Amino acid sequence: MVRDIVIYPDKRLKQKSLPVEKFDEELHTLLDDMYETMIDKKGVGLAAIQIGVPKRVLIINIPLDEEDGAQPKENTLEVINPQFLEMSGSTKYQEGCLSVPGFYEDVSRYSKVKLKYFDRYGKEHILEDDDFLAIALQHEFDHLEGKLFIEKLSIIKRKKFEKEWKKRNSKK
């Protein structure tokens, strides 16, 4: 089921999400709904709090290739209770967010990460990445901590964003 996305400046986006304790049917439904919502909104990643559920759950699905942009469900990385074990290097990438629709800006992140997480069945995994996935994981992880990518912008860029955002929303 496609759910509504929580949009900035909704206070729920500032909430720190809580660890998942039961890897049950309810979690599986949440993950399935997150996938459908992410696809519907044409995103590559989504955290549970973005549909109003304060649980430490995130998904990422990087399109197979830029042209057709297919995101088959079996390619979805489902990450529960993640914990970064290592982070190093630095990189800059133009990020966007389904909770801040239509706004894109360069953000600095670690270029390489090592992450421990659990899948939907409660099995522990460790993954390492030094490409786009590393960036996406940091972006989504921030949501679990109640942080948004716009908080990482310089003061000048943040002001530019607030101005644009206000202008756009006053037109509606």
**Which parts of the chain fold into alpha helices (H)?**
25-40, 132-144, 155-171
Q: Is 97 in the site for Zn ion (CB under 5 A)?
A: yes
Residues 25, 140, 145, 162: which is the catalytic one?
140
Supply the DSSP string of 113-124, one letter for each residue: EEEEEE-TTS-E
In angstroms, the CA 145 to CA 142 distance is: 5
* Nearer CB in complex with Zn ion: 30/97: 97
Query: Considering only 20-28, 63-71, 90-98, 112-120, which stretch makes contact with Zn ion by CB under 5 A?
Result: 90-98
* Nearer CB in complex with Zn ion: 27/47: 47
* Nearer CB in complex with Zn ion: 21/145: 145
- Whether 26 is catalytic is no
In angstroms, the CA 75 to CA 22 distance is: 23
Query: Considering only 52-60, 69-77, 91-99, 118-126, which stretch makes contact with Zn ion by CB under 5 A?
Result: 91-99
* Residue type present at position 43: G
